[in-house]
Structure 1
Amino acid sequence: MTGLRELFDIARGRLAGAPQERLGELLPGRRILGVPRAARIVPRGAAWHLGVLLLTDEGVLETGEILRAREEVRRGFAAESQRQRAALAAAARRGGFAEGETVHVGWRELDLGAVERGGSSGPLALRDGEPVVRWSRSGGFAPLAGYLDERVELLRHPPQGAT
């Protein structure tokens, strides 16, 4: 049986040359010389987006919120959630992301050691000695090896019209 870290190393090897998406961190607004400065999202690296997981060169992260950087525009919103997403998209643009660029925020590093000891970390767990992943908050666990195979294949060869 293949170990947890080995599964991710194999996936990294298969993903060499595949496109990565950028990671960002939200920095709250602050005052500079008494002038308020708006919140911004600053770059914090890149990762391959594999569903509920983000795979970096050294680690594994749990996916948080995904948005596209956009210039701030005044407009009416039907819902407060739309206003908040627009504010985050503008914060990413202010932080240096290109217009329309995909940005991951609110991600969390997973503790692979805890999983290897039989515990869990985010969507990862060990069940009967096999690494598994919960592919949605309400979904069940799926074998990690098969999940990674499917997600790597989708990233390397997206369905027509998906990009």
Structure 2
Amino acid sequence: MEGRADDDTITAELGRLLESTVRRLEADGARTEALASYQSRRPILGVRRSPVMVPVDRVWRLGVLLLDARGRLFTIGSVTRAVEPGRATHQNPRAEERRDHRRAAYQGKFAEGDTVNWDAQEVELDEAALRAGDGVVALRDGVLSVRWSKQAGPDGYTALAPYLDERAALLTAPLP
């Protein structure tokens, strides 16, 4: 029974932490970014159409995490800008791939110049996932932690509360 009370405490603490971070970011008018899904489109009259990015939500970028207004966390996937993709040069396949991503965002329903995140995965925040200790957000030595670095071992993690506080402060700090 003791483990269940601990689980309830951990989830309640995490819920309060995410809720207070959302309130702070909303109150400070922090800049959001788009969260999108990359979708292929059906051909029209046999003509193939290029894929497009479809808006899913607005999120705040907090280091290695994306946070939405409902308190859900996402890992960072890929990112692009909704800008005119430019002309194809066919010189570098990787550059052409990035241009295709810009085109998909530009043809989506995003404001010009908007930062668009896709391939982001929602972070599991249930007790079992937190206790497993190997996710982006994990319970490490009794402390809610975030893997801020791909470095193996405990050095890749830091406490979640100060991490979110610092990242929210950076996001809401006035421009120099």
Query: What range is the shorter-chain TM-score in?
Result: 0.7 to 0.9
The 10-residue stretch of structure 1 (15-24 or 47-56) with the greater mean CA deviation from structure 2: 15-24
> In the aligned structure 2, how far is the partner of 1:117 from the partner of 1:50?
19
Structure 1 equivalent of residue 163 of structure 2: 147
Q: Is the 8 A contact 1:68 1:101 kept in 2?
A: yes
Q: Give 5+ residue unaligned stretches, structure 2.
A: 1-8
Which has the larger Rg?
2
What SS class does the counterpart of residue 74 from structure 1 fall into? coil
> In the aligned structure 1, how far is the partner of 2:163 from the partner of 2:74?
15
Q: Is the 8 A contact 2:129 2:135 kept in 1?
A: no
The residue type paired with residue 90 of structure 1 is R
TM score, norm. by length of structure 1 = 0.87
Q: Once the 2 structures are TM-superposed, how far is the Cα of residue 122 of structure 1 from its aligned partner?
A: 4.1
Runs of 4+ in 1 over 3 A off after TM superposition: 114-117
Is 2:22 the partner of 1:12? yes
The 10-residue stretch of structure 1 (114-123 or 18-27) with the greater mean CA deviation from structure 2: 114-123
> In the aligned structure 1, how far is the partner of 2:134 from the partner of 2:113?
31
Is 2:73 the partner of 1:60? yes
Structure 2 equivalent of residue 103 of structure 1: 116
Match of 1:30 among 42, 45, 49: 42
Higher helix share goes to which structure? 2
Aligned length: 160
What SS class does the counterpart of residue 104 from structure 1 fall into? strand
What SS class does the counterpart of residue 35 from structure 2 fall into? strand
Q: Is the 8 A contact 2:88 2:96 kept in 1?
A: no
CA RMSD of aligned residues (A): 2.1
Match of 1:128 among 123, 136, 141: 141
Structure 2 equivalent of residue 42 of structure 1: 54
> In the aligned structure 1, how far is the partner of 2:24 from the partner of 2:144?
19
Match of 2:63 among 51, 68, 72: 51
> In the aligned structure 2, how far is the partner of 1:123 from the partner of 1:159?
29
Aligned in 2, Cα 1:141/1:43: closer, same or farther, shift over 3 Å?
same
Q: Once the 2 structures are TM-superposed, how far is the Cα of residue 51 of structure 1 from its aligned partner?
A: 1.0
> In the aligned structure 2, how far is the partner of 1:116 from the partner of 1:4?
13
Deviations along 1:44-82, whole A, 9 cap, x unmatched?
110111011111122111111111112232232653222
> In the aligned structure 1, how far is the partner of 2:114 from the partner of 2:95?
18
Structure 1 equivalent of residue 172 of structure 2: 156
Aligned in 2, Cα 1:26/1:98: closer, same or farther, shift over 3 Å?
same
Higher strand share goes to which structure? 1
Q: Give 5+ residue unaligned stretches, structure 1.
A: none
> In the aligned structure 2, how far is the partner of 1:159 from the partner of 1:78?
37
> In the aligned structure 2, how far is the partner of 1:150 from the partner of 1:78?
41
